[in-house]
Structure 1
Amino acid sequence: MNKRKWVSAVLAGVLVLSAIPGFKSETASAETIDVQTIVTNMSIDEKVGQMLMPDFRNWKKADESKATGFTVMNDEVASIIKKYHLGGVILFAENVVETEQTVRLVDGLQQASPEIPLFMTIDQEGGIVTRLQTGTNLPGNMALGATRSEKYAYQTGEIIGSELSSLGINVNFGPAVDVNNNPGNPVIGVRSFSSNPELVSKLGIQTIKGLQSQNMAATTKHFPGHGDTAVDSHYGLPLVSHDKERLRAVELVPFQKAIDAGVDMMMTAHVQFPAFDDTTYISKKDGQEIMVPATLSKKVITGLLREEMGFDGVVATDALNMKAIADNFGQEDAVVLALKSGVDIALMPAQVNSLQMEENLSSVFNAVKAAIENGELPMEQVDQSVERILELKVKRGIFKPSEEVDQTPIDEKVENAVKVVGNKDHLKKEKEMAEDAVTLLKNEDKTLPFKPKKDETILVLAPFADQVESMTRTINELADKRKMKNVTVTGYSFSGKSFNDEVAGLIDEADYIITGSYVVKNDPAVNDGVIDDSIQDSSKWATAFPRAVMKDAQTKDKEFVLMSLRNPYDAANFEEAKAVLAVYGFKGYSNGRYRQPNIPAGIQTIFGESRPKGKLPVDIPSVTNPNQVLYQFGYGLDIRTGKQLN
């Protein structure tokens, strides 16, 4: 019996059952399709395909000279989806450039898999990790942590879910529920709600519920936790050395609560957790002995996540092309080890951006088949994984009986998506969230709000041009709204630069100075407990330049405010400033749109158009005295009274 016939036979049997009085049938319920029977009738090739999820971020056709963003469906990609019976595809910014284009691309991808629809997945976390180039970006998780608002978290999930769903995307790889308790973390930072596991849990669960309210499959990541790392697993292999008790009390808490709340999927972390598994392998990179990362650990995925924590949903790896995995384990071995560990989906198992590179996917596919055939990867385990995958596809309305399949014409889908993605209501809500998240850390001498008078000059400095543009544009919009006459706004981007006479001259001419600080990981030069401002080498520009601006402005008695644009920990570099605020987002204005609402929200606060309500979701340690906390979790000032918010 061919695949089309056995799928139809199973669905027909279910339809007969649904006609029986008292038979319980729910939309998007695993009871509507006999998944076990389908899996029993699948070939090994079909099962392996469901467990592989590549990306087609870029594509080079046979007649093209180089790979470019894959935005329009073609027969070459369709042939790969069909040949390998793929279960899903992950999309990136290169794929989702415009709303109509995205709807048509996603529809085209699904057309290539007519029997069992694809998981169409994306990393749309909100904040600094967003892919949709026309969507609502939202202020991000740490901004939500600053608001303490479960309502905003739910709305975030709801907005993301509705926009993705309108495009035909059915799985979001979010929210991140990592507990960011390492100020030096180079990859999580503002992607985390907080350093407090209870706050992370509350906001994470509400985001999950918001996503699921739009029938979007929600994913928590990066299990068992990427928050206390000092290495980015895109580039190296991080280690979390805490004991089991500490991990259960902090890192694992949000994951357990998400499991209890019914999260659909879990994404693994390429991080070593020796407390749960200290098994070693020989690195293919340098021949050194290394501990197994969670992604490849049966003790972590099966023992901890499945058996101890009780998760029976779908587990996907983080991208297997990340250097933490690819460099140390190799392409084929990494995929087989991940699936052996108990993972259901190997994400980005091989790079394929042309038919000439198809052999990469073929090699991985055949390695998994060989592992099944020689008993290294038990068929029973494979069947369980495929059942979980198909059950989730049924639950979220992705895989339906033929009578229920959406027959909406593509033009109607496009029309609906255009109304949903980035609409005015969503933009209004993200603006409100971002403004309530702004956290005022210092406001000595009532420096804020700024109240420029006629013919005064405002100098804006930030690392990157898009950030400067976001600030200057927002100020000019405010000037038009409030009819501030002849106020001049000057902008300067300083990435990689040293303080010079030109900047000193701009400060001379300015009445008000706004400086944005963008520091991923604090690394100022500190001598004898004092930041050494004499060091102006290029590696220190991120702290040295804005500190030089602050010092010069204060010497000249200019009104100065420091706006922390990314991880709020960098506020500790500016203890001497009279006014400091954190906005938790660094994306500026480019391609005709604000890429995040955070910078405009900060500007609104600086000029008194909104009242900051944010309270720190993390501790900010002192730079000059690292063992001391400069600003505590929960700290935030009322701009009117100067007192701490309740």
Structure 2
Amino acid sequence: MASLLVGGSVIGAKPAVAQEATSNVDVKQIVANMTLEEKVGQMLMPDFRNWQKQGNSKATGFTIMNDEVASIIKKYHLGGVILFAENVVGTEQTTRLVDGLQNASEKIPLFVTIDQEGGIVTRLQSGTNMPGNMALGAARSEQHAYDTGKVIGEELYSLGINVNFAPDMDVNNNPSNPVIGVRSFSNNPELVSTLGTSLIKGLQDQNIATTAKHFPGHGDTAVDSHYGLPLVDKNQEQLRKVELYPFQKAIDNGVDMIMTAHVQFPAFDNTTYTSKKDGQQIMVPATLSKKILTSLLRDDMGFDGVIVTDALNMQAIAENFGQAEAVIMALNAGTDIALMPAPVTSLATEKNLDNVFKAVIQAVNDKRIPMSRINESVERILTLKIKRGIYKPGTSYTADVDKLVENALQVVGSKQHQAIEKKITADTVTLLKNEDKTLPFKPKKNDKVVVFAPNEDQVLAMKTKIAALVASKKIKPVDVQGFTFANKTFDDSMKKAIDEAKYVITGSYVVKNDPAVNDGVIDDTVIDSSKWATVVPRAIMNYAQGKNKENVIISLRNPYDAANFLEADALLAVYGFKGYSNGRYNQPNIPAGIDVIFGQEKTAGKLPVDIPSVTDPTKTLFPYGYGLDIRNGKLLK
């Protein structure tokens, strides 16, 4: 494959390992020669997730570069953009879109960023998704974490994407956390640090800029910061020992960026602000706190890389602080890049970005934001762009897009990457119960299997994988029937299918355990629409056991929901709920669980978190490190 120059980096060959390429470049002088408008533009990173072209009736996924978006990139001298799933629907399409975005930036190439964490947070619709962080925590392998970063990094690099907003370095020590959960490696800060830094190295070895998030820690929250402001009410000693520990290790190991959390930490900053939403006094979250971003992160922890906010258009920030004011506060706090500072979905809504841009310019002119604050941020941004080969002063972005596409098609979602993904995922499945050697299932020809899961894609993932095992002659031909149960009750059709089946497989998906429905006293067949998540799979389990059917429960997402099924004959955790659609598995976790159920893989995963009782959270049912060997029923060493 021929290689070609792109903004000073080589595409089509193995990326050069990050180097201190700034030694002979006077970044301060470059910044001194920039206009204020150019500097501010470097610090703003909007999304163009959806776009409504003039003359169209509505916004749709922005997948093809157009002159309207190009004009906005040029007008505001933007330093970067963030891509979402709506933007990256195919390999060739994504490569051409990224190339178009870079061509729109006249002087300094863009940070083209994405949240490709692996697991449940993936954007590339043609990429290799990997099993996710908590699954990696179950595997306990630094090599698996490194290989995950390497695979993701190779795919991003081939597409021209140069920044990954990953890994998530939160310590998930709150089982009720609605937004982190399996995005975290563990509730153990040491394991989070070890695997997180390995994944960072894997990404950086592909010359992808990495991001530890969400500082100072989003793991011990029970509120989704997309909608509200969570508060972590711990003292500084507790926070330094747990929440801050992985971030310090990431800093010590050369992470490129740190993303902030929209979370309140009164131990570090209890400053209040009058909410624009309702006039109430609220504590300033970390994203907008100088005490946290400058005094703690910069001065105390020694981070001199790029600080990027979490999305500033999230309700918790936008509603309480206002778009322009939030950006000004974030920059004054020590942020270098304001992510998604205002929604821009058309030329008609460009005014949202324009208002923010002009407000920041005015704040600098009025000395509300010191010019020194702007300069130091732009110096950090350009230093990182040079280090990662994104920007080579004196040259502009050039590329042969057809060769880029040719290379990307060989890399993204390749068979080699899928093989690595399968190998890693096989080591993550965790066996929590296996009474009377229920597993593995050993069906005879034409035995009936019934599978249950909340959603159709999950049912389809199970059925597709079982069919593949039959087709490859790994198991005898079986008759498989599937049911979804989201927002449903346990009905006669489900009972009939169990009656006729020999084997029953149920996928459970619970984001947050609820003691009101999980104590086993509610009638399993009479539920309101919000209680199906635990009540229906319990009903399936109880009925199958009453009929002496061989049955297993698979915890599809957060392993904490295993606490609802202590009476299960067999219980697995796979740490990933995405199923099968559009001809592909959207995560490898469910098929890995099916492999274990039918004896195609041993179990190697050990819990990366404690699983507490639902009704008594002080009681641990399955401790950190727990996992059974399917071959002998003993605890894994």
TM-score, length basis structure 1 = 0.95
Shift of 1:538: 1.1
1:535-574 residue pairs with structure 2 within 5 A?
536-574=527-565
Shift of 1:73: 0.5
Q: Deviations over 1:378-411 (max 9, x none)?
A: 00111000000000000000001446x6744111
Structure 2 gaps, min length 5: 1-6, 8-16
1:95-494 residue pairs with structure 2 within 5 A?
95-402=87-394, 407-482=398-473, 484-494=475-485
Give the share of equivalent positions with the same residue, in percent.
68
Amino acid at match of 2:283: M
Amino acid at match of 2:532: W
Q: Which residue of 2 aligns with 1:20?
A: none
Q: Deviations over 1:416-441 (max 9, x none)?
A: 00001010111001111111000000
- Given that 2:427 and 2:603 are in contact with CA atoms closer than 8 Å, whether structure 1 keeps it comes out as yes
Q: Which residue of 2 aligns with 1:517?
A: 508
Shift of 1:526: 5.1
- The CA distance in 2 between the partners of 1:170 and 1:28, in whole Å, is 17
Aligned to 1:121, the other structure's residue is in SS state strand
Aligned to 2:627, the other structure's residue is in SS state coil
Shift of 1:566: 0.2
Amino acid at match of 1:419: Q
- The CA distance in 2 between the partners of 1:28 and 1:97, in whole Å, is 34
Q: Does 1:48 align with 2:40?
A: yes
Structure 1 gaps, min length 5: 1-10, 12-24
- The CA distance in 1 between the partners of 2:105 and 2:484, in whole Å, is 48
**Aligned-pair Cα RMSD in Å:** 1.4
Task: Check 1:195–1:138 CA distance in 2 against 1; reply closer, same or farther (3 A cut).
Answer: same
Amino acid at match of 1:417: A
Amino acid at match of 1:51: M
Amino acid at match of 1:203: L
Q: Deviations over 1:245-299 (max 9, x none)?
A: 0000000000000000000000000000000000001111111110000000000
Q: Deviations over 1:116-142 (max 9, x none)?
A: 000000000000000000000000000
Task: Check 1:460–1:191 CA distance in 2 against 1; reply closer, same or farther (3 A cut).
Answer: same
- The CA distance in 2 between the partners of 1:89 and 1:531, in whole Å, is 51
Q: Which residue of 2 aligns with 1:581?
A: 572
Amino acid at match of 1:532: I
Aligned to 1:388, the other structure's residue is in SS state helix
Runs of 4+ in 1 over 6 A off after TM superposition: none
- The CA distance in 2 between the partners of 1:348 and 1:33, in whole Å, is 30
- The CA distance in 2 between the partners of 1:531 and 1:434, in whole Å, is 36
- The CA distance in 1 between the partners of 2:258 and 2:625, in whole Å, is 29
Shift of 1:530: 4.4
Q: Which residue of 2 aligns with 1:532?
A: 522
- The CA distance in 2 between the partners of 1:203 and 1:418, in whole Å, is 29
Q: Deviations over 1:498-548 (max 9, x none)?
A: 111111111111110000000111114259x64434451111100000000
Q: Does 1:81 align with 2:106?
A: no
Q: Which residue of 1 aligns with 2:4?
A: none
Amino acid at match of 1:460: V
- The CA distance in 1 between the partners of 2:373 and 2:106, in whole Å, is 26
Aligned to 2:451, the other structure's residue is in SS state strand
- The CA distance in 2 between the partners of 1:45 and 1:455, in whole Å, is 70
Shift of 1:151: 0.1
- The CA distance in 2 between the partners of 1:32 and 1:394, in whole Å, is 11
Task: Check 1:398–1:575 CA distance in 2 against 1; reply closer, same or farther (3 A cut).
Answer: same
Amino acid at match of 1:490: Q
- The CA distance in 1 between the partners of 2:630 and 2:28, in whole Å, is 60
Shift of 1:26: 8.8
Amino acid at match of 1:423: S
Shift of 1:486: 4.2
Aligned to 1:383, the other structure's residue is in SS state helix
Shift of 1:370: 1.0
Report the number of matched residues.
Answer: 621
- Given that 2:453 and 2:507 are in contact with CA atoms closer than 8 Å, whether structure 1 keeps it comes out as yes
Q: Deviations over 1:445-486 (max 9, x none)?
A: 000000011121000000000000000000011112226454
Q: Which residue of 2 aligns with 1:7?
A: none
Q: Deviations over 1:338-365 (max 9, x none)?
A: 0010000000000001000010000000
Q: Does 1:505 align with 2:496?
A: yes
- The CA distance in 2 between the partners of 1:524 and 1:609, in whole Å, is 36
- The CA distance in 2 between the partners of 1:588 and 1:130, in whole Å, is 13
- Given that 1:463 and 1:516 are in contact with CA atoms closer than 8 Å, whether structure 2 keeps it comes out as yes
Amino acid at match of 1:217: A
Q: Does 1:618 align with 2:609?
A: yes
Aligned to 1:538, the other structure's residue is in SS state coil
